[in-house]
Amino acid sequence: MQQIAQKQKVDPGTTKIEGHLLVKCVDQSGIVSKLSTFLYTHGANIVESSQYSNDPEGGMFFIRLAYHINHQEAVMSNMEKEFEQLAEGYQMSYQFYYPTIKKRAAIFVSKDLNCLMELLWEWKNGDLLMDIPLIISNNEAASHIAEIHNIPFYYIPANREIRAQVEQQQIKLLEKYDIDFIILARYMQILTPQFVARFEHRIINIHHSFLPAFIGADPYSRAYKRGVKLIGATSHYVTNDLDEGPIIEQDVERVDHRDDVASLKKIGGKIERRVLARAVRWHLENRIIVEGNKTIVFH
């Protein structure tokens, strides 16, 4: 059994807040009824329920419940504590979230500002409900963008020879700003296993290819040489296997023989922007459960 509760710093003036409960366990009869009854007995009103079983006969069961509950620390704390007993009986892994508390995201970026600009636009527009306390880059190209948006910018040159040293600097900043998750908005550096393990399932990457095709660097040139008729982009959680982490979202567009590498990059850039923004939104809305190297995404 595993439980992860989001930090509770809810505005004390709020009388009703929304909660999210994500659960995964071996599929068995009565789970939905047990969960619904549990929330009801604690004064919660379920407003959304999404569930999935990969095999009704002994497979895994996944559910996301969104509910409204009175904002009283004692009520929420007592509910979470009492849920431990129910979870133990069904061997559940579960997470409680309170989206009134905005997640704090650090954006990592290199020279290409395509995805960074989209994220900042969606954030300013109110479509990505998060805080962005800082931007970290191994290139100074994004400094003026950060300044315009009044976001602290940290330029930390990086390469494979000094990777561990650079990551120590980055970790200190992430701790200083109390960061919940990291967005790699075309950050063109490979992360060490130690760094990835520290932020398991909390690093979202955009890869400019429809994975598993063209893993690694320069996928547009390789796609052009291969004569592909579809190009795409993939957003995924980062693991130690390069570009092979659990996929959150993908999209494609059709191309043809008239498209050179430059036009493929232009078309691909549009796909990258929307794919990364959708993946980040679903992470913020607690719509993703990771199972092995796959995800269940409750749209």
Note the maximum CA span of the chain: 64
Q: Which residues are catalytic?
A: 243
Q: Which two tokens stand for residue 92?
A: 């559940």
Alpha helices by DSSP H, listed for the chain, are: 31-41, 73-90, 114-124, 143-148, 163-176, 193-198, 219-226, 261-284
Distance CA 246, CA 228 (A): 24
Query: Secondary structure of the chain: what % helix, strand, coil (to 5)?
Result: 35, 30, 35
Local structure of residue 212 (DSSP, 8 states): T
Q: In 49-79, which positions are buried (b, 16+ CB within 10 angstroms) versus exposed (e)?
A: bebbbeeeeeebbbbbbbbebebeeeebeeb
Phi, psi of 81 (to 5 degrees): -65, -45
Secondary structure (3-state) at 144: helix
